[in-house]
Structure 1
Amino acid sequence: MYAIDYLIEEHEQISNFLDRLEEKCIEVINEKTVDFNFFRASISFIREYADGIHHKKEEDILFKYMISDLGMLGEKVIKGGMLVEHQLARGYVYDLEIAISSYKDSPNDKNLLQIIANAMAYVNLLRKHVEKENTTVYKFAEDRLSEDRKSLIEKESSERIETEKKYDKRKEELLSIIFKENK
C-alpha cells in the first residue's frame, strides 16, 4: 500500500531526527550547555510534523479503519498501544518544553537533567514505536483490512498528503536549524 509506504518514509525522517536529538543530549551532558534554538526547533518539528502531520494521518485514517474493521484485536493494538504511545510522546514533549524554560530561568543541574530525561524518553519511546508500526502494525493492517477499505485508505491518504505539501517549507526550515552544525 502506497499509504503505508509513505508512513514508513516519514518514519525514516523522524528516525533521523531522533538520532540528532540524542546527539544533542550527549552534547548537553558533555558541555553542560543547551542550544535553545535547536531545542525550540525540535519541539516545533515534533509538534508540527511528527505529531501534527504524521501521527495525525495515522490516527485520522489508518488507525480509524483498523479500530472499526479489525474487531477487538484491532482495537487493542491501536487504542491500547499506538494511541497510548502517541499520547505519552506528547507528554514527554510538554515536559521537555517546561524543562527548557526552567533551565533558561534557572540554569542548574536539576533542570539540565530534566531536559535530557524528557528528550531521551521521547527518543526511546519513538524508536520502539516506529519499529512496532513498521514491522507489526502496518503489516497487520495490510493483511487484515479488506481491499475496499485499503482503497479508501489510499484515497484519503493521497488527499491528505497533497494538502500537507503546504507545510514542506516550514518543515525544511526547522530541519535546517536541527541539523545545523555548531560552529
Structure 2
Amino acid sequence: MQAIDILMQEHRVIETVLNALESAADRLGAGEDIPMDFFFKAADFIRNYADGTHHQKEEGILFTALETNGYPKDAEPVSIFMDEHVEGRRLTKGMTDCAERIRSGDAGAKAELIQHARDYIILLREHIQREDNVLFPMADDILADGHRQLLADFNRADDELGTKDKYLRLAEELAKI
C-alpha cells in the first residue's frame, strides 16, 4: 500500500460521515426531530478523525515532505488546502455552537446549524475531490521514492493517537442516521 492510498481511504470514511451529516441536516430542515447528539458526535468525528488524524497527516507529514521537495506550505496548491482546513474548523465550531444553542432551547439556531453543516459538506466534498485528483497525484510523482517513509510516518501517527478504530466505529454509527 502506498502512503497516498491511506489518505484516500480516509477520504472514503470522511465521505460516509458527510453523507450522514447531509441526511441529518436535510431531515432537520424538513422538520424532523434529529437529536443534537448526532451533531455533537459528527463534530467529534470531524475534529478528531477528519481534522485530528487525517488533516494532521497532511499538514504535519505530507505537506512537510512536499516542502522538503520544493513545494512550500505557503504556496499553491498546498496553501489552499491549508486554508480550507482552517475554514472547516470554523464551520465545525459553528455547527457545535448552534447545536448547543438548540439544546439550550434556542430554536432559532436550527437554520444556522443546517447552514453550517451544508457549508461544511460542500467545502469538504470539493476539498476531497481536489486532493484526490490534483494534490495526491502531484505528491505521488514528487515523492515517489519517499512513500515508504511517509507510510511509516502515517502509521506512527495513527499509533500515537490511538483513536483510529474508535472513529471508524463512530463513522459507522453516524451512517445509520
Normalised to the residue count of structure 2, the TM-score between the two structures is 0.89
**Distance in 2 between residues matched to 1:61 and 1:76, nearest whole Å:** 17
Contact 2:49–2:167 (8 Å) recurs in 1: yes
The question of whether the paired residues in 2 share the 8 Å contact of 1:67 and 1:78 is answered with no
Aligned to 1:84: 83
Q: Deviations over 1:4-39 (max 9, x none)?
A: 001100100101110110000111011253311211
Matched, 1:117 2:118: no
Counterpart of 1:137? 135
Q: After TM superposition, list the pairs within 5 Å mapping 1:15-30 onto structure 2.
A: 15-30=15-30
Q: 1:66 to 1:75 in 2, by over 3 A?
A: farther
2:154 pairs with one of 151, 154, 157: 157
3-state SS in 2 of match to 1:31: coil
Equivalent residues, number: 177
Cα 1:169–1:154 shift into 2, 3 Å: closer
Over 3 Å counting, the alpha-carbon distance change for 1:157 and 1:175 in structure 2 is closer
Question: Matched residues in 2 for 1:145 and 1:134: separation?
Answer: 15
Corresponding residue of 2:43: 43
Task: Select the structure that is richer in helix.
Answer: 1
CA contact (8 A) 2:49 2:164 kept: no
Cα separation, 1, equivalents of 2:62 and 2:55: 10
Gaps of 5+ in 1: none
Question: What CA RMSD, in Å, does the superposition of the two structures yield over aligned residues?
Answer: 2.1
For residue 143 of structure 1, report the CA deviation from its aligned partner: 1.3
Q: For 1:32-78, what per-residue CA distance to the aligned partner results, in whole angstroms no more than 9, with x for missing partners?
A: 53311211110111111111111111111101111232346983211
Q: Give the match for residue 34 of structure 1.
A: 34
Unmatched tracts of structure 2, length 5 or more: none
Task: Tell me the TM-score normalized by structure 1.
Answer: 0.86
